[in-house]
Chains A and B, each alone.
Chain A
Amino acid sequence: MKTEIKVKNISSTADLVLDDRVHKSLYSDEKIFEEELDKVFNQTWVWLAHESEIPEAGSYKTATIGRQPVIVVRDRKKNIHVMLNRCRHRGATVCEGKTGKTKAFTCPYHGWGYGLDGSLRALPKPEEYENILDKAEFGLIKVRTESYQGMIFATLKDDLEPLDDFLGGAKKWIDLFIKQGGGYPLKAMGDHRFRFPGNWKIQLENTTDAYHFPIVHKSFIASVDEQAAEVFDFLDGEGFVEDLGHGHSVMVMIPELVDLEENLDEPIPARYSDLAKQLADEGHSNLEVRRLVRAVGGGGFNLNLFPNIACSMAFFRNLVPISASETEIHHIALGGEGAPEVFNQKRIRLHEHFQGPMGFGTPDDGEAWERVQAGSMAGTDGWIMLNRGMSRLSTSVDGNVKGAVCSETGMRAAYQQYKKLMSTSSEQ
């Protein structure tokens, strides 16, 4: 097998992605990063929000497509709009803060006022614009947006395929993921945000990397009971990774937790016996208690959607590229809208246990990712290996390429989509 591939004659970034490896300069080269913003983030569907983050008319969330600031907002009829966060006059952002509720967007600089649908409503001292400014042409710039199961995506590319087609084989897994709510509609319950000094693709890879789990998360596993530790001991189990097309992949770690509405008659795990008792004491039926308990810890898989969102066991993982060597991660906690308080509370506590800046899992992931970034500066001909499991692939029931749970099948899927996008000419 080839081990040395010289890169000095490679001129295109797409050529730095091979079937079984990628070149380490993809993590650290600022020019490549700028090219990615143009060819990846500006040319594909990018996840921005979950509908429950903007529940009411006037609710908004600020986000970015690549590096471009956008507003995701519900208008008075509760229709969702995505707009560039930039006043059409002199370019100031018109909306600040993570989330909130407003009646309108008013530019703080000269007071141009926009409706929730982005239309330019009023501006101070309009007489100086007499005959030279048509308000109908100066609304906030709309961005094409489509949703699937409450997940709001947008794209700057008007002729891109519909979101439904882009998600394709991933939709089946999204449908399973939303069963997190335990019979109630999925609801975002706040997020953890942190930055790490490393490239965005290191995080993209990590969501489909089961191989690291028992090594990096040893301290997390030590903090849960024996029964839960067994559940997380999945590398020798029946799990798998499946390439879902378009760069998406699913990594099933715990097959028995793929469908949270099945096997409701399973014994209640000891770690949830208090929750089950509380729910029963509140008068919930036996079936309801079992459905909630089964859903409380999340599903048994990570769905990695290219390029910036994952439905990761129990939460949304959203990555935001900052620079070649810096990435912001949002871990969005999820619960059930209208679900019993003790259920949502337990989900929040479980999320805090692993996720976020002080979780028992994330800081150790962060340490590994920082080291990947630092190590990527060593040598000139360094390749990042993605060949794990390549010789033992099979075909899934859905006809997709499938590898072992700890194979790098999902990473290869993501990088092939990356290669495809990076191969397009920048004029497109």
Chain B
Amino acid sequence: MELDTQLLANVTAFLNIEADMLDNKEYHQWLDLWLESGLYIVPVDHNATDYANALNVAYDDHQMRLLRIERLTSGNAISTQLSEKTVRTMSRFRILDDVDGLVRVRCAYCLYENNKNGIRSYPANLQFKLARDGSSFKIAEKVVKIMKSSQYLTTISYLF
């Protein structure tokens, strides 16, 4: 097996920035990481492949990302008013392929939230499609497969 450690390092560095922005609620900078055609998806069913025709927990195109960030930051949504910074950890990065300028990568992920009901954790498998953009990347797709998404979740007041 051939290992491209340079690509892995670049991808990891990019995804760490993405995670750090979300934990620190730098939502507007986070938007700049995206291709406008990109899709942010939290599926209900982890085996789904046709996300457009399936019910998802979230299926955000550019317009919905803008609206969601407005919702998370405007102070109008009572569920977000006391929402603290989250903590997410990622590991086990694996490049799946690198074809025509599009790198597919997946990793292990866990988000911790300090909610009034206690510290809650959300383990997930993350899959990204990253489009090369000079020396960095733009997100073409992010799929968050959270454990229990098809059984039951809690209400969520941040972005995975």
Q: What residues make up the interface of A, taking CB atoms closer than 8 Å to B?
A: 98, 189-197, 216, 218-220, 222-223, 328, 333, 341, 344-345, 348-349, 351-353, 356-358, 360, 362-364, 366-368, 370
Contact = CB atoms under 8 A, between A and B. Distances in A.
Contact of B152 (A195, A223, A358): A195
26 contacts: A98-B151, A190-B44, A190-B55, A192-B44, A193-B153, A194-B152, A194-B154, A194-B155, A195-B154, A218-B77, A219-B74, A219-B77, A220-B71, A222-B74, A223-B71, A344-B53, A348-B59, A352-B55, A357-B154, A358-B58, A358-B155, A360-B77, A362-B155, A363-B156, A363-B157, A364-B78
Given A194-B154, A222-B70, A366-B155, A216 B78 contact: yes
Interface of B: 42, 44-45, 52-59, 64, 67-68, 70-71, 74, 76-80, 116-117, 150-157
A358 B117 contact: no
A194 B76 CA distance: 22
Contacts of A360: 67-68, 71, 77
B155 A218 contact: no
Given A196-B154, A328-B152, A358 B57 contact: yes
A328 B58 CA distance: 19
Say whether chain A's binding surface is mostly helix, strand, loop, or mixed. Answer: helix
Given A194-B154, A219-B76, 18 more contacts: A98-B150, A189-B55, A193-B150, A193-B152, A195-B152, A195-B154, A222-B74, A223-B67, A344-B53, A352-B58, A356-B57, A358-B156, A360-B68, A363-B157, A364-B77, A366-B155, A367-B78, A370-B116
Contacts of A222: 70-71, 74, 76
Nearest to B44: A190
Contacts of B80: 219, 363
Contacts, number: 96
Nearest to B153: A357
Contacts of B58: 352, 358
Top 4 closest pairs, chain A to chain B, by CB: A190-B55, A219-B77, A366-B155, A363-B155
Most buried by A among B42, B67, B74: B67
B54 A348 contact: yes
A196 B150 contact: no
B72 to A, nearest CB: 9
A362 B152 CA distance: 14
B68 to A, nearest CB: 8
Most buried by A among B54, B117, B154: B154
A4 B157 CA distance: 38
Nearest to A218: B76
A216 B150 CA distance: 26
B77 A191 contact: no
Given A222-B71, A363-B156, A192 B79 contact: no
Nearest to A216: B78
B151 to A, nearest CB: 6
A353 B71 CA distance: 12
A367 B155 contact: yes
Contacts of B42: 358
Contacts of B55: 189-192, 333, 348, 351-352
B109 to A, nearest CB: 16
Most buried by B among A328, A358, A363: A358
B156 A357 contact: yes
